[in-house]
């Protein structure tokens, strides 16, 4: 348990990890409990985009940067209509943001969407623990301050939270069905038609396609290949999203049937789905890649790019060929060597593990949308 000796902080909430570690702090957002997979993001900015990224569904999101919310919440920074992270964990939540586009502070933003959070915790210690032990289930809950000074009450509280954490298994839930669209949606008019298979798509993907003159039809993740081809698309994008890609057998089947019939572009979870469709596998990373400055290397020409990333699984075991076309590793992570992209040029398919649309993050990789447009 972190030392409380030098602190005059008022504690009314706590984050409890599966191993029994307790991090007391101050409740922000909604006064409620949250149980999920504990992860961390190392970005200095982009907290609103991260919280509204559907890929964080089912997760308790820890921000490693020491102050979050200093430029507030603005209507232009949403990546989806709501917050999808189950909880927000910060060292300090700025109560009075300063920015001309700010409409509310972080606390009000969380409350509005019914999401609990905690501030005043040692996020550095949390990140170090997740890095050493791996992502793990955890629970956040309101807590009476007197619990900390009563060993019996504290032990009972921790045991209760650990039990709730142990009842949660992130890898067994298909979160995609909880965040993806249920209906077909059309954005833009005219131009080449793109079908976006929504597995939890960020708004930035749609924006990038619209900026290139595309007409974008967003469809639910369980849409069949026949239904997609009936829309006569010039290309298909498979979006990012939450959860274990191995659970998405319906999308893997669809993408496998689309291979060779229409150009494909997979992003993040979409990359993992394409990897499965060509005969590869995926595995869970120890603590994932979540941040705005992850470097990857182009395995074809050697160039290095700084990328925005948010994923807990990686592609492995790619075959040398699929249906007579070579399967090539396109990008690799500069830190751990894991796969970050693939090309099946003979079947007009490409994918990357990172986020070329950024939001948040560097714009260095938006050229990939141009490469996709050339393909179609």
What positions carry a catalytic annotation?
Answer: 268, 355, 357
| Cβ atoms within 10 Å, residue 8 | 5
Per the listing, tokens 């005043």 go with 120
- Name 73's Cβ contacts closer than 8 Å, sequence gap at least 6: 48, 97, 102, 103, 104, 105, 106, 108, 109
**Closest C-alpha among 251, 257, 110 to residue 180:** 251
Cis peptide before 373 (omega within 30 of 0): no
DSSP state of 355: B
Return the HEC string of 8-54: CCCCCEEEEECCCCEEEEEEEECCCCEEEEEEEECCCCCHHHHHCCH
DSSP state of 92: E
Q: How far apart are CA 121 and CA 118, in angstroms?
A: 7
Tokens of 207: 């924006």
The alpha carbon of 282 is separated from its chain's Cα centroid by a whole number of angstroms, namely: 16
Q: How far apart are CA 39 and CA 88, in angstroms?
A: 10
């Amino acid at each position: 348990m972190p030392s409380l000796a030098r602190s005059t902080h008022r504690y009314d909430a706590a984050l409890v990890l599966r191993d029994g570690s307790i991090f007391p702090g101050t409740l922000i957002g909604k006064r409620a409990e949250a149980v999920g997979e504990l992860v961390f993001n190392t970005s200095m900015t982009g907290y609103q985009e991260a919280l509204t990224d559907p890929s964080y569904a089912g997760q308790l999101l820890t921000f490693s940067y020491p102050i979050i919310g200093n430029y507030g919440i603005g209507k232009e920074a949403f990546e989806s209509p709501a917050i999808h992270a189950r909880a927000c964990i910060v060292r300090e939540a700025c109560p009075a943001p300063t920015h001309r586009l700010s409409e509310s502070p972080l606390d009000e933003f969380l409350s509005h969407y019914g999401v609990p959070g905690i501030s005043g915790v040692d996020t550095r210690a949390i990140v170090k623990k997740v890095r050493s032990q791996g992502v793990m289930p955890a629970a956040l809950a309101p807590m009476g301050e007197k619990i900390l000074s009563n060993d019996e009450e504290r032990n009972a509280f921790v045991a209760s939270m650990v039990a709730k954490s142990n009842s949660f298994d992130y890898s067994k839930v298909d979160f995609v069905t909880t965040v993806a669209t249920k209906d077909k949606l059309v954005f833009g008019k005219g131009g080449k038609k793109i079908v976006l298979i929504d597995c939890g798509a960020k708004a930035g993907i749609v924006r990038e396609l619209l900026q290139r003159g595309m007409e974008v039809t967003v469809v639910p993740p369980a849409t069949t290949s026949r239904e997609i081809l009936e829309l006569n698309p010039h290309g298909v994008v498979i979006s990012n999203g939450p959860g274990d890609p191995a659970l998405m057998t319906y999308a893997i089947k669809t993408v496998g049937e689309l291979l060779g019939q229409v150009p494909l572009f997979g992003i993040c979870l979409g990359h993992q789905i394409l990897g499965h469709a060509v005969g590869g596998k995926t595995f869970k990373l120890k603590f994932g890649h979540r941040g705005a400055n992850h470097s990857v290397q182009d395995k074809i020409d050697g160039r290095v790019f700084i990328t925005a990333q948010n994923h807990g699984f990686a592609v492995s075991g790619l075959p040398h060929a699929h249906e007579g076309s070579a399967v090539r590793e396109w990008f690799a992570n500069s830190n751990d060597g894991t796969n970050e992209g693939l090309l099946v040029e003979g079947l007009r398919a490409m994918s990357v593990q990172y986020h070329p649309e950024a939001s948040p993050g560097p714009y260095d990789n938006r050229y990939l949308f141009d490469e996709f447009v050339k393909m179609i």
